[in-house]
Amino acid sequence: MRWLAIFAALAFVPASARAEEQALHLTQAPGVDVVEGHCGACHSLEYVPMNSPFLDAAHWDAEVAKMIEAFGAPIDPADAKTIGDYLKENYGG
Binding site for another protein (CB under 8 A): 5, 8-9, 12-14, 16-17, 19-21, 23-24, 41-44, 46-55, 59, 62-63, 70-74, 91
| Smallest distance, another protein to C-beta of residue 82, A | 20
| Smallest distance, another protein to C-beta of residue 25, A | 11
Residue with Cβ nearer another protein (17 or 29): 17
- Is there a contact between 1 and 33 (Cβ–Cβ < 8 Å)? no
| Smallest distance, another protein to C-beta of residue 54, A | 4
d(CA 31, CA 81): 10
| Smallest distance, another protein to C-beta of residue 34, A | 17
d(CA 60, CA 53): 11
d(CA 54, CA 41): 24
d(CA 22, CA 29): 16
Residue with Cβ nearer another protein (50 or 78): 50
